[in-house]
Structure 1
Amino acid sequence: MDLPSHIPTPVSTIPEIYERLQSRFADRSTYSLDYRRYNLKQLAYLINDNKDKIFEAVKRDLGSGDFQIQMSDLWPILHEIELAVKRLPGWMKDEGRLWDAIFTFQTMRPRIHKQPKGVALIIGPWNYPWQCILIPLIGAIAAGCPAVIKPSELAPSSSALLAQLVPQYLDPEAYAVVLGQVEQTTELLQRKWGHILFTGSGRVGKIIADAAAKTLTPTTLELGGKSPVIVSSCANLKITAKRLLSIKQLNTGQICVSPDYILVCKDVADDFIRTCTETLDTFFPHAPHPQSYLTSDMTASLHTSAALERQIAFLNKAEEEGKLVHRGELDQERRRLGISIVRLNANAEGEVGGIVEEEIFGPVVPVIPVDDVDAAIRYINARPNPLALYVCSGKRSVFTKVIAETASGSATWNDFGFATIARSLPFGGVGDSGWGSYHGYDGFRTFSHFKSILEIPYIFEPLMAFRYPPITTIGKTVLKLLLSPTISFSRPVSVEDERTQRVKRKVRNWLVIAIVFAAVGWFGRTRSL
């Protein structure tokens, strides 16, 4: 199949592209609901009309199978578009703030008006060259923002195809693709944008944030990092192993929210490791079996030879140290490596080439036995905040404890990876794993400015006049009545007393509800008699 070549955009043309999109934004064409929905629908048909080309492009870039590309890269995009097209009229409406306002301001129609921030810059990664570019673009289109898309040069076939298709389906005056490497990105970052959304490594994220700070451009950074798994003593080990390893196979672990390392309670550690190895043997019989990891439609190649050598180095060192539990199959020529399991100690810093400190971004799974869930929480809290956190337990109380005592971009109970495609939830990191979020309404919100609106008509002048100098005693009295706050609650005695009062309020509310239902039931019964 013929695909376009990846030809870098001449740096000299970037100013013209920038000005063209700025002009489109200035003429307010992108503001209308019809314009936004038209381009969103066109984006959906960009995917639908060109699936075979997209499959081939991603296959050349990553070695992925067609079904994995659909499930992981394309279906999430179409889900997001479908939601945006359906909900956009409601998202765009002014948001009333009447009931939270003090009485004086309730007469002034307090509300939030949503406006596009301006021309957006979206910089994407190589590992999901369609999803991680087009889902942010959906947010920008929904918000009414033109956008420059800078896909990764490390996924050249997908990037070139995207550059060919975007002007065919979307308004070429409002949406443009810039191909290239550091030179093109540097040129783009010298300009002021309405918003920048970057997905990639923390190292590059710091460069993006530094450049954006110079022009006071707001940013969203999706940076990945380590995503730990806690396996408690009460977890169902068979289900945990199946769910974990089925997600770990996707893109051969080259996912920002892929389970990175496992903290398992010591009393079930041996059983868990044995269950994982048995599950791998069941999932991926060795070649030449058609379900081998090396030929599976749900896996992919390591992105580069250097990435493959890095994973092999982890395994070789683990084997030397007697910590390699299971080694996955290897196809050096196709850069394929099966899932491998390494057992480490709780004080694992420095072991196996720093595998615990670095984001693995591959099919190696370190398992670290810990005393209990509290020890796992301490281990996680001593390190940078993860993008995703996973808890496997038979008791919901274990999950709620971990949520309450840790910070992470997302947290999932008894499964893995789904937070990235739950379109009703914001996706984003915290601390070292990034800042800001997008997806669904939160993508619309990211690229929108929420403007506070008050209306104070001239008819209010008799009241407003009390504030004009010199302020009289009557004026001060009126202003105090209008603006002075009142404390409607009693002084708290202690935290324990506050807790007691809260419980009493709950009991009182439930009693009132019970009395009302009883009265309604009694009344209905007497009427029937």
Structure 2
Amino acid sequence: MSRNSIDFSKNPYYQLFLKQRSQQFKIGNMPYSQRIKQLKKLKTAIEVTYRDRIIEALHKDLNKPKVEAELTEIYPIISEIKFAKSNLRQWMRKQKVDTPMSMLGSSSYYIYEPKGVCLIISPWNFPFNLTFGPLVSAIAAGNAVIIKPSEMTPNSSALMAEIVANVFSEDEVALLEGEVEASTQLLQLPFNHIFFTGSPSVGKIVMSAAAKHLASVTLELGGKSPTVIDNTANIDKAAKRIVWGKFMNAGQICVSPDYVLIDESIKERFIKACRKWIEQYFTNTPKTSDSYARIVTQKHFERLQSHLDDAKSLNAKVDVGGEVEADSKYIAPTIISDVNQEAKLLNEEIFGPILPIVTYKTLDEAIAYINSKERPLALYIYSSSKRNTKQIIRNTRAGGTCINNSVIHYANHNLPFGGVNNSGIGKSHGFYGFKAFSNQRAVVKQHTYGINELLFPPYTSFKEKLAKLTIKWF
């Protein structure tokens, strides 16, 4: 059944979709200068006009500290825009490629053309960053866009709706608020591309909906990102960086270290170092710290509390933290060891401020443990041994990896960002984001008589010989 034969008339968002689809070639044919103008308007809105209100909205929704709001929400958007502005002219140029001798008389190139009308479904943990970051790529690539942000961060979503309405016309970019039903209805429409950030379970729903229209997808998912620490690592530096990467945004980060795999001989020293850095970052009472966020909703708080209680019921040892307070949705930065392999903490993505410690005797044992689980979005290695580092990278698979640090690969726009299999499909950021929202269109131009015409029918014995020579020499 073609998309035109499906009745979308009862879908509340179909008219908006049609409005954007009718403008897709006008938008797609915007020159470099016009796309840059749009990006500049968005940059001014984020960096200047709405900056204070963005910080305020994030504090209301997540108790996000101002510095974290600046560095993990505003900065990534601005840097993404700057990077696109510096490189967009080159990305938009036709890219010439070689043409084989068998096609003598022609030339070849490819262009990046817009996919058309795109849907961005963004999450709650970094609402501005993970909404406007993909939007920058979609605009740079020349698309019309409908955005559906998370309903779990209502203050941020409402402000983003205001920003989009003031920066763009509705037939270019529109943002729709609403509950899960709004996403369900949007996913029924025949978008040309869907960019989704969220959990693997919802990613499967998005991919299934996209398949009905053969729409392409970029899925930025998550999973259990491991951190391997071997006995050559600088333990204090490892603890410093892991504690920072794990407990930023109260652990609600898709690339957060989900669990630590550590050589059993250095486990206690590592836990002691983690305790030191937790106190240094958040004081010995993190609940009163202005540098520590909160869990987004009561539902997520209860899920994390249940996981913690489950681990303790299976005789896990809480080494640091463990305090919870339901009224404020507070869970202390928590380090937990001796966790039973059946515990939920070791079998479900945590997405919160609880860090389980798993020990190993040999590096092969650690690698086998990682490979027993789904392929992660990120894998972190703390080691002074090039041999060990190489062994881990060669014998595991992950969306991205940092060596002797955590999380920071996300910030390099020269690198592709994304997962593999269960942790995602497709890449984003910088050129890779532009490419995600583009179709790589191949073009061959015939200039003179084509040598291949010698092989047109009728097929004679001479042409049989010529075909054999073509196979052999060209």
Q: What TM bracket, shorter-length normalisation?
A: over 0.9
Contact 1:73 1:130 in 2 (8 A): yes
**Alignment-derived partner of residue 381 in structure 2:** 391
Contact 1:68 1:297 in 2 (8 A): no
**Alignment-derived partner of residue 426 in structure 1:** 416
**Alignment-derived partner of residue 220 in structure 1:** 218
Of stretches 24-33 and 438-447 in structure 1, the one that deviates more from structure 2 is 24-33
Letter in 2 for 1:305: Q
CA distances 1:10-29 after superposition (whole Å, capped 9, x unpaired): x8641121111111113355
Could you tell me how far apart the structure 1 residues matched to 2:95 and 2:441 are? 10
Contact 2:380 2:403 in 1 (8 A): yes
Letter in 2 for 1:92: M
User: Is 1:412 matched with 2:399?
Assistant: no
Letter in 1 for 2:68: Q
User: Is 1:79 matched with 2:79?
Assistant: yes
Give the superposition deviation at 1:331.
Answer: 4.5
Letter in 2 for 1:398: N
**Alignment-derived partner of residue 22 in structure 2:** 23
**Alignment-derived partner of residue 5 in structure 2:** none
Could you tell me how far apart the structure 2 residues matched to 1:73 and 1:285 are? 24
TM, length-normalised to structure 2? 0.93
**Alignment-derived partner of residue 425 in structure 2:** 435
Q: 1:188 is matched with which residue: 170, 186, 194?
A: 186
Q: 1:249 is matched with which residue: 237, 247, 250?
A: 247
CA distances 1:419-460 after superposition (whole Å, capped 9, x unpaired): 222111111111111111110000000011001111123x31
Contact 2:94 2:109 in 1 (8 A): yes
Could you tell me how far apart the structure 1 residues matched to 2:307 and 2:459 are? 76
**Alignment-derived partner of residue 8 in structure 1:** none
1:146/1:349 CA distance change after superposition, 3 Å: same
**Alignment-derived partner of residue 201 in structure 2:** 203
Give the superposition deviation at 1:191.
Answer: 1.2
| Mapping for residues 44-83 of structure 1, pairs under 5 Å | 44-48=43-47, 49-83=49-83
**Alignment-derived partner of residue 294 in structure 2:** 301
Give the superposition deviation at 1:31.
Answer: 3.7
The DSSP-based 3-state class of the residue aligned with 1:294 is helix
1:131/1:322 CA distance change after superposition, 3 Å: closer
Of stretches 354-363 and 469-478 in structure 1, the one that deviates more from structure 2 is 469-478
**Alignment-derived partner of residue 460 in structure 2:** 472
1:52/1:28 CA distance change after superposition, 3 Å: closer
Give the superposition deviation at 1:402.
Answer: 1.0
The structure with the largest alpha-carbon Rg is 1
CA distances 1:122-177 after superposition (whole Å, capped 9, x unpaired): 00001110111111111111111110011011111111111111121123321101
Structure 1: give runs of 5+ residues left out of the alignment: 1-10, 288-292, 488-529
Contact 1:29 1:35 in 2 (8 A): no
| Mapping for residues 319-358 of structure 1, pairs under 5 Å | 319-320=312-313, 321-344=315-338, 348-351=340-343, 354-358=344-348
Contact 2:107 2:444 in 1 (8 A): yes
Contact 1:228 1:388 in 2 (8 A): yes
TM, length-normalised to structure 1? 0.84
Give the superposition deviation at 1:319.
Answer: 4.4
**Alignment-derived partner of residue 113 in structure 1:** 111
Letter in 2 for 1:266: E
Could you tell me how far apart the structure 1 residues matched to 2:291 and 2:65 are? 6
Contact 1:121 1:195 in 2 (8 A): yes
The sequence identity of aligned pairs, in percent, is 34
1:96/1:330 CA distance change after superposition, 3 Å: same
Letter in 2 for 1:335: K
Could you tell me how far apart the structure 2 residues matched to 1:199 and 1:229 are? 22
CA distances 1:499-519 after superposition (whole Å, capped 9, x unpaired): xxxxxxxxxxxxxxxxxxxxx
CA distances 1:218-276 after superposition (whole Å, capped 9, x unpaired): 11111111111000010000000001101222100000110110000112122222222
Could you tell me how far apart the structure 2 residues matched to 1:367 and 1:301 are? 23
CA distances 1:368-402 after superposition (whole Å, capped 9, x unpaired): 11112211100000110011000000122222211
Q: 1:271 is matched with which residue: 266, 269, 272?
A: 269
Contact 2:28 2:116 in 1 (8 A): no
1:318/1:185 CA distance change after superposition, 3 Å: closer
Letter in 2 for 1:68: E
Could you tell me how far apart the structure 1 residues matched to 2:431 and 2:255 are? 21
Moved over 6 A (4+): none
1:43/1:28 CA distance change after superposition, 3 Å: closer
**Alignment-derived partner of residue 460 in structure 1:** 449
Of stretches 254-263 and 330-339 in structure 1, the one that deviates more from structure 2 is 330-339
1:46/1:369 CA distance change after superposition, 3 Å: same
Could you tell me how far apart the structure 2 residues matched to 1:426 and 1:41 are? 24
Could you tell me how far apart the structure 1 residues matched to 2:279 and 2:56 are? 30
Could you tell me how far apart the structure 2 residues matched to 1:424 and 1:137 are? 18
User: Is 1:138 matched with 2:130?
Assistant: no
Could you tell me how far apart the structure 1 residues matched to 2:104 and 2:269 are? 62
The DSSP-based 3-state class of the residue aligned with 1:460 is coil
CA distances 1:266-320 after superposition (whole Å, capped 9, x unpaired): 1212222222223323333234xxxxx2243432111122322333334444445
Contact 2:152 2:297 in 1 (8 A): no
Structure 2: give runs of 5+ residues left out of the alignment: 1-9
Contact 2:11 2:185 in 1 (8 A): no
Could you tell me how far apart the structure 1 residues matched to 2:396 and 2:116 are? 36
The DSSP-based 3-state class of the residue aligned with 1:197 is strand
Letter in 1 for 2:97: R
